[in-house]
Amino acid sequence: MKILNKKFWKNSVTGLAAGAVFAMGTAAANAVEIEYWQYFFEARVNAVDILIENFEAANPDITVIQTTFPYADYRTKVAASIPAGQGPDVVQLFYGWLNDYVDADLIRPLPTDMFPPEQIEAEFFPMVQAMKRDGAYMALPTAVRALALFYNKRLFEEAGIEAPPETLDELVDIAAALTKRDGSGNITQVGITTGMNAQDHHWWREVLVRQFGGSPYTDDYKTVTYNDASGIAALQWYADLETTHGVTQSGVMDEPQAAFKAGRAGMHIDGSFRIGALNSTRGLEWGVAELPAGPDGMRSNYSSYWVNAVTSKAEGEKQEAALKFMAYLTSDEAMQIWLETVGELPAKPTAALTDANKADPVFGPFVEGLGYARTTIFANESGQRQVIMDALQRILLEDASAETALGEAAATEQALLDEYYN
Amino acid sequence: MFGYKSLSIKQKQVVWAWGFLALPVVFYSVIRFYPTFGAVLLSFQEWNLLGGKTWNGIENYQKLFADPVFWKVFGNTFLYLILGTPISLLVSFIIAYNLDKVRFMHGTIRALYFLPFMTSTVAMAWLWRWFYQPVPIGLFNNMLAAISIPQFPFLKSTFWALPSIWAPAVWAGLGFQVIIFMAGIRAIPNTYYEAARIDGVGPWTILREITLPLLKPTIVFLVVFSSIGFLRIFDQVFNMTTNDPGGPLNATKPLVLMIYDTAFNAFDMGYAAAQTVVLFTVLLVVSLVQLRIMRDK
């Protein structure tokens, strides 16, 4: 094509125009164009750009177009577009949304010859099995995320603390040493950030409740079981950070990660997706540690993931191209690129639990956490989050006991679950 | 074409008139009435945006009226209105009445009052959200801390959060109301005032007997307009409470935010449509009642 164009260039301007039209015509004839959608998060967009470049180099006849939307709009855009036959051929969905899409026949099962279930089960983390329907997988992740404790190295040094906390008791002591107040007693630097709205509701549900001896739900996540002595103890412990120990203030500096980024928080619990943003914060020296162990040494973690799926819009050669792209997105190579660009961990233990990753000071604690992490199956994540947020607010603002607050939370959440599943 | 030629001039005029009228009629039918009707239908259905719709009768309405959160939210919505409309009208009238008498830098002062109205609500809401933060970043609380006064909870209190969101909303709408009031005051013929002065009437009587009665159309317009605005309040609340939408403990949640949450977080479109129909009915009733009460007798 290039040679053809060059010849025309030498001839005349009209020749060039004709050549361009000709070139465009042939290119369109043998190229398949597919669309990939995800929400906008800079590191993720960059990662997909790299993946598309590699994929197109290996498959010159396929063009992948990436489209992104702000996170707040993403779910609605996807939900409105796919049923209308408008949206993407390959789409990124939160694992918790899968049911609705499967029920509405909006995504296609991955063919078992290209994606054999036995192989997936042998290679991927077990939580991915939630993506299986009738013997075939509906969707697969590139990466998974877990929680860990971020800590500010400078503040630790300043307070003479050598290592991040290993247990919940140590966490309280260290947080106390890191807390600063002004002359009127107002907190100006928190020992640990809190706020059930960010990642703490996951920490409470899957980690604290279990560490205090309970379990948040039945195994199918359709029944609330945290409303017992262990759940109450877990909520009380969390509320005590603010009410008794005074080492935190929920919502300090508006958002917990903002307080940590600004160096106004000694510790902060967050997901692996925060790594990219913290890396680009100048002057912040931070480290990562595993979530502290419970009273009897038990560790737990919460893991979540976004999956890729082929939509029912992709048909014929587009479907073929979409499946090829899916295969690449879930390859070891793609997972490594994702880890390096976004900081999210590979979805396969073979790729994630390598010695190099375990020894990595930043990825290490997350990788360890993945080994014992649980994945909550949400019916309505924001609704279920609100329930836990409200329980804490009742304690902080209305002086309710942890028992009353949790009782109300359990009843409300159970109603949400019943309505969704029945 | 033959048919058209055989029409009389009068009939042709009718055809043309309807031809032009068809445009807004079609526009309103397609853009307004069709979706409104669709929402009413949807309120009797169950739909999660992805799958098919199924009929479920009046279940959505039963659920709505049995939901304590709905009644809390309903109360909040009216609180925004009951606090908002009278206070903002009173304040804007006082400003307009006095500003009308000011000659010094009149244009500049008027522009200053109008400025917040032109500012994007989202930007304004975020700015106020930061003003309200506790130390170390909140402007108001930093000022309080500087003079050793305890922190004020603003958005973190179930009692004060609603007024804290309401205040910037009133402030932002003030400019518009001031301008409309001033236009209304200017439109009152000067001869009435001259006659009153010749009769030796005091300023209070002039205000009560001339200015206010003649401002009635302006007041009716502003009452209806601002009531609809407060009943539909959303942007301020949504942007100032994104960490806990409508919180704490639903203390600031207006009806529109509940609708948004039901539709785009819970994806319960039928239930959201039922809430929308209730809001629509409330708006309609409030507007009709106000127009009736304030109608010229």
The per-residue pLDDT for range A225-237, each reduced to its tens digit, is 999 999 999 999 9
Chain A contact set for B148 (CB, 8 A): 183-184
Distance from CA of A250 to the nearest CA of B (A): 10
Contact A211, A379 (CB under 8 A): no
pLDDT for residue A15:
43
Does A152 lie in the same domain as A5?
A: no
Nearest by CB: A397 against B48, B158, B264: B158
Dihedral of the alpha carbons of A353, A356, A358, A364, in degrees to the nearest 10: -120
Residue B184: inside a domain, yes or no?
A: yes
In angstroms, what CA-CA distances link A261 with A116, A189, A285, A287, B226? 43, 12, 10, 12, 41
Residue B120: inside a domain, yes or no?
A: yes
pLDDT for residue A9:
43
Burial bucket for residue B22 (CB in 10 Å: 0-12, 13-18, 19+)? exposed
Distance from CA of A83 to the nearest CA of B (A): 6
Does A330 lie in the same domain as A400?
A: no
- The verdict on A389 touching B (C-beta cutoff 8 Å) is yes
Q: B48, B50, B140, B268: best mutation site toward chain A, by most A Cβ within 10 Å? A: B50
Q: What is the pLDDT of residues B84-135, one digit of tens each?
A: 999 999 999 999 999 988 888 888 988 888 888 888 999 999 999 999 999 8
Q: Domain limits at A123? A: 35-144+305-359
pLDDT for residue B297:
55
- Provide the CATH number for the domain around residue B135: 1.10.3720.10
Does A140 lie in the same domain as A77?
A: yes
Does A108 lie in the same domain as A205?
A: no
Does A374 lie in the same domain as A266?
A: yes
Residue where one domain finishes, among candidates A339, A359, A379: A359
Q: How far apart are CA A319 and CA A34, in angstroms?
A: 9
If you compute the radius of gyration of chain B from its CA atoms, what whole number of angstroms results? 25
Residue B270: inside a domain, yes or no?
A: yes
The yes-or-no verdict on residue B74 having pLDDT over 60 is yes
pLDDT for residue B2:
63
Three-class SS state of A60:
coil
Does A165 lie in the same domain as A116?
A: no
Count of domains forming chain B:
1
Q: A93, A98, A182, A184: best mutation site toward chain B, by most B Cβ within 10 Å? A: A184
In angstroms, what CA-CA distances link B285 with A186, B201, B282, B289? 48, 40, 5, 6
Torsion sign over Cα A164, A170, A171, A173: negative
Using CA coordinates, name the residue in chain B closest to A101: B50
pLDDT for residue B49:
84
Burial bucket for residue A309 (CB in 10 Å: 0-12, 13-18, 19+)? buried
Q: B108-135: string of b/e by CB count within 10 Å (b at 16+)?
A: eebeebeebbeeebeebbeebbebbbbb
Chain mean position to CA B163: 16
Contacts of B47 (CB under 8 A, 6+ apart): B53, B54, B269, B270
Contacts of B283 (CB under 8 A, 6+ apart): B228, B231, B232
Does A98 lie in the same domain as A163?
A: no
pLDDT for residue A21:
45
Does A75 lie in the same domain as A207?
A: no
Chain B contact set for A83 (CB, 8 A): 49-50
Residue B214: inside a domain, yes or no?
A: yes
Torsion sign over Cα A255, A260, A264, A268: positive
Q: How far apart are CA B275 and CA B288, in angstroms?
A: 20
Q: How far apart are CA A56 and CA A60, in angstroms?
A: 5
The yes-or-no verdict on residue A421 having pLDDT over 90 is no
Q: How far apart are CA A241 and CA A256, in angstroms?
A: 15
The residues with which A287 forms a beta bridge, in sequence order, are A151
State the DSSP code for A330.
T
Torsion sign over Cα A236, A242, A246, A247: positive
Structure tokens at A270: 């967050």
Residue B97: inside a domain, yes or no?
A: yes
Q: What is the pLDDT of residues A75-93, one digit of tens each?
A: 888 888 888 888 899 999 9
Identify the band that residue A276 occupies on the pLDDT scale cut at 50, 70 and 90. Answer: confident
Q: Do B264 and A398 touch (CB under 8 A)?
A: no
Chain B contact set for A100 (CB, 8 A): 48, 50-51, 267
Least confident of A171-185, A197-211, A341-355, B167-181: A341-355
Chain B contact set for A383 (CB, 8 A): 265-266
Q: How far apart are CA B102 and CA B95, in angstroms?
A: 10
Mean pLDDT, chain A, whole residue set: 88
- The verdict on A104 touching B (C-beta cutoff 8 Å) is yes
Count of domains forming chain A:
3
Q: How far apart are CA A290 and CA A164, in angstroms?
A: 9
Q: How far apart are CA B235 and CA A221, in angstroms?
A: 35
Q: Do A393 and B48 touch (CB under 8 A)?
A: no
Q: What angle do CA A223, A225, A228 make, to 5 degrees?
A: 155
The yes-or-no verdict on residue A162 having pLDDT over 70 is yes
Using CA coordinates, name the residue in chain A closest to B126: A254
Does A249 lie in the same domain as A395?
A: yes
Query: Measuring CA to CA, which residue among A188, A168, A201 is closest to residue A270?
Result: A201
Q: Domain limits at B234? A: 62-293
Q: Do A254 and B129 touch (CB under 8 A)?
A: yes
pLDDT for residue A28:
47
Q: Do B244 and A75 touch (CB under 8 A)?
A: no
Residue B262: inside a domain, yes or no?
A: yes
Does A411 lie in the same domain as A290?
A: yes
Q: What angle do CA B171, B173, B174 make, to 5 degrees?
A: 65
Q: Do A382 and B151 touch (CB under 8 A)?
A: no
Residue B42: inside a domain, yes or no?
A: no
Q: Do B247 and A380 touch (CB under 8 A)?
A: no
Residue B279: inside a domain, yes or no?
A: yes
Q: Do A393 and B247 touch (CB under 8 A)?
A: yes
Identify the band that residue A26 occupies on the pLDDT scale cut at 50, 70 and 90. Answer: very low
- Provide the CATH number for the domain around residue A191: 3.40.190.10
| Conformational region of residue A246, where left means phi above 0, alpha means psi within -120 to 50, and beta covers everything else | left
Nearest by CB: B248 against A100, A187, A393: A393
Percent of chain A past pLDDT 70, that is, above it, reads: 93
Q: Do A76 and B133 touch (CB under 8 A)?
A: no
Beta-carbon-side half-sphere exposure of residue B34 (alpha carbons within 13 Å): 7
